[in-house]
Structure 1
Amino acid sequence: MSSPCDPEHAPAGDVDGALMLIDSRLRALYAAQDETDPEQQRLSDQFAASLSPAEADALLDGACTLVYLFAQWLRMAYEEHDKDVIEYVVPGFVGSLRMMTRSIRPETIPTMTGMVVAAATGLSPNLWRRQFGKWTREEMNPLEATALLLAEHINRITGDHDFASRLVTEALSG
């Protein structure tokens, strides 16, 4: 039986733009910077400010597409080892979000966790989220952090700092 949250019904959005933002954050993370580079932050803010409402919606959809792609890759990787992705990814993911007290409000953690679980079980995270209304301003940083944490998890288990970005780039070019 088909679900209204099946990925085939979801817009992919601006995956390139979302990947650019996540890749930029990953590079800063791997450069062992304690704080975001002010120039990088200025450019990211400038990029976000330049978006029209439709482009901002497309960027949100693109970030959700990344969450879906990363969660599906993790699901397949864990299943190859007879492990459940939710059991092995979600607790660490939630713990990481809880440690990000300056940018992640506690009340957004259940929503982001639900998105990851939805994506890991084959549902579109953006369609799953839309059931509960419009995105809020408070959910923007957590959504970015969700995609970032999943990408970093993939990179860590593969031992390759560019694996998650390359995974998406190859999927888009294929």
Structure 2
Amino acid sequence: MASSCDPQHAPAGDVGAALMMIDSRLRAIYDEKDETDPEQQQLIDQYAASLGPDGIDDLLDGSCTLIYMYMRWLRTAYEDHDRDPIEYVIPSLVASMRMMPRSFPAEVIPTMVGLVVAAGTDLSPNLWRKQYGYWTKEELTPLEATTFLLADHINRLTEDNDFATRLISDALRRAEKG
């Protein structure tokens, strides 16, 4: 029986915009800055403000698509070594979330972990989340941070600070060529 959370039924959203935001955060961290360049942050904020309600929904869906794609890659990588990706990704993710209480208030951690588990079990994170209503304002920063943490996890595994961004960029290019 097909699940209502089957990824084939999920909108991809604006994956390019979501990737741009995550890549910006990764570059800020890897360049050993404490935070995003204020000018870069201003551009991101202006872009987000210009989206409108439909654009925000597309960005949220795009972030969930990134979570799904990152977990598919992690699932393949871990299963190639006879490991369960949930067993290796979730504890690290939760530990990181708990160290960032301003980005991850305790009450959103189960939702963010649920998104990752949904993706790790081949369900659409955005359709899984939509079962519980519309996104809350309190979940927006944690959603971006969850996507960031997965990208960083992949980059650390591959020992390549650009791997997660390149993984998605390459997939987008292949999809455009069709």
Q: TM-score, normalised by structure 2?
A: 0.96
Once the 2 structures are TM-superposed, how far is the Cα of residue 126 of structure 1 from its aligned partner?
Answer: 0.1
Partner of 2:113: 113
SS at match of 1:134: coil
Counterparts in 2 of 1:65-144, with a 5 A limit?
65-144=65-144
Once the 2 structures are TM-superposed, how far is the Cα of residue 36 of structure 1 from its aligned partner?
Answer: 2.6
Partner of 1:38: 38
SS at match of 2:71: helix
Partner of 2:12: 12
Once the 2 structures are TM-superposed, how far is the Cα of residue 48 of structure 1 from its aligned partner?
Answer: 1.0
| Total equivalences in the alignment | 174
Counterparts of 1:170 and 1:27 in 2: how far apart (Å)?
18
| Identical-residue share of aligned pairs (%) | 66
Question: Aligned Cα RMSD in Å?
Answer: 0.8
Residue 3 of structure 1 pairs with residue 10 of structure 2? no
Counterparts of 1:102 and 1:142 in 2: how far apart (Å)?
9
What 5-or-longer segments of structure 1 have no aligned partner?
A: none
Q: TM-score, normalised by structure 1?
A: 0.98
* Structure 1 ranges of 4+ moved more than 4 A: none
Contact 2:24 2:36 in 1 (8 A): no
Counterparts of 1:134 and 1:171 in 2: how far apart (Å)?
28
Counterparts of 1:5 and 1:35 in 2: how far apart (Å)?
35
CA deviation string 1:110-159 (max 9, x = no partner): 00000000000000000000000000000001000111000000011001
